[in-house]
């Protein structure tokens, strides 16, 4: 066993929005089949992560955050990601000291994938350590963990984590495990709106199932998935803004339409000049894409005055994929 030097990094965990999200039906394994386009934005949590050999002074892994809402210890998704990683590599977790501090900027339970982004950042960090000498320090072959296996670890953490691991703009299918190559796009100005109530993803799926069953829809696998990867890739690469706006949709609006504030937010965004507006994830956060920063800033001023109970943020699409250390 060779010495592993302490490894420390500050990682950016970017939020995601769903440019489109279609819930196609419930699968035999009780998960839901999804299809749509995810995109990272500049809004991000910042993680200070470290890994070193354990010493006799250590009392366990450390986790901290500037947010009192995040679960601590093993209940935290970042810890789950780290445990899964070490289990997959054959390294005993108690042999290393792992610590993580999250500077939380992504609102929670809003549909922006904040927890998934944080877990993905931890996996990227540990992959960097693995490729940078961690494997050899335990006399292990770094090839025992492949990029495909890393993607499987990401999925075990949560449906959005595989996308967040790679970032950019991608067409995603299945429960989130089938992620396309990155799609090129401009970095459009984005306005985010956060209504004053959280939405639990599990509750949203249950409500959507109930609503569709009440309407006589048995959630057949043949439900329309909307435009495919080729359409979205061509549309985003040629910057077809009317096309993007026409297909920016979210099936969870079927159950959130009763929330008048969401309807008013989306109408207000479009009236303010957004070329695309929709809800992201299972909600309640909404987003709008604008042609110019000045248009977004004007919309921000108008809508914050009109709906002061809503939290508004300005950001931009961040189509740059994450850089993962190459496997040797």
- 306 counts as catalytic: no
Contact 254, 211 (CB under 8 A): yes
Tens of pLDDT along 27-74? 888 889 999 999 999 999 999 999 999 887 777 899 999 887 887 777
Domains of the chain: 7-179 (3.30.230.10), 189-316 (3.30.70.890)
Q: Which of 16, 80, 118, 151 is catalytic?
A: 16
pLDDT under 50: residue ranges of the chain: 219-222
Cβ proximity of 191 and 290 under 8 Å: yes
Clarify whether 258 is annotated catalytic. Answer: no
State residue 284's pLDDT score.
Answer: 93
Predicted pLDDT of residue 310: 97
Predicted confidence at residue 220, as pLDDT, reads 47
- Where helices occur in 130-280 by DSSP H, the ranges are 135-137, 147-157, 161-166, 201-214, 229-237, 241-247, 253-256, 260-271
- Catalytic residue from among 45, 118, 151, 160: 160
């Amino acid at each position: 066993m060779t010495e592993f030097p302490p490894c420390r990094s500050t990682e950016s965990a970017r939020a995601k929005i769903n440019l489109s999200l279609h819930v196609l039906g419930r699968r035999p394994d009780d998960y839901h089949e999804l299809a749509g386009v995810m995109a990272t934005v500049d809004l991000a949590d910042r993680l200070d992560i470290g890994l070193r050999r354990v010493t006799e002074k250590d009392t366990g892994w450390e986790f901290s955050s500037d947010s009192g809402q995040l679960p601590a210890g093993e209940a935290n998704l970042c810890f789950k990601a780290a445990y899964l990683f070490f289990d997959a590599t054959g390294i005993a977790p108690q042999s290393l000291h792992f610590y993580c501090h999250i500077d939380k900027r992504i609102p929670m339970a809003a549909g922006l994938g904040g927890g998934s982004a944080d877990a993905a950042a931890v996996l990227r960090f540990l992959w960097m350590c693995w490729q940078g000498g961690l494997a050899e320090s335990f006399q292990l072959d770094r090839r025992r963990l492949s990029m495909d296996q890393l993607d499987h670890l990401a999925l075990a953490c949560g449906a959005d984590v595989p996308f967040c691991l790679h970032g950019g703009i991608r067409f995603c299918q299945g429960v989130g495990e089938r992620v396309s190559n990155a799609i090129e796009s401009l970095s459009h100005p984005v306005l985010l709106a956060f209504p004053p109530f959280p939405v639990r993803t599990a509750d949203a799926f249950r409500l959507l199932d109930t609503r569709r069953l009440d309407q006589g829809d048995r959630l057949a696998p043949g439900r329309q998935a909307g435009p495919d990867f080729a359409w979205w890739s061509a549309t985003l690469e040629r910057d077809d803004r009317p096309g993007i706006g026409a297909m920016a949709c979210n099936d969870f609006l079927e159950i959130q339409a009763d929330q008048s504030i969401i309807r008013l937010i989306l109408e207000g965004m479009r009236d303010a000049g957004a070329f695309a507006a929709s809800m992201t994830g299972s909600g309640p956060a909404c987003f709008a894409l604008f042609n110019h920063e000045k248009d977004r800033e004007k919309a921000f001023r108008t809508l914050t005055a009109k709906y002061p109970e809503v939290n508004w943020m300005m950001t931009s699409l961040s189509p740059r994929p994450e850089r993962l250390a190459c496997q040797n």
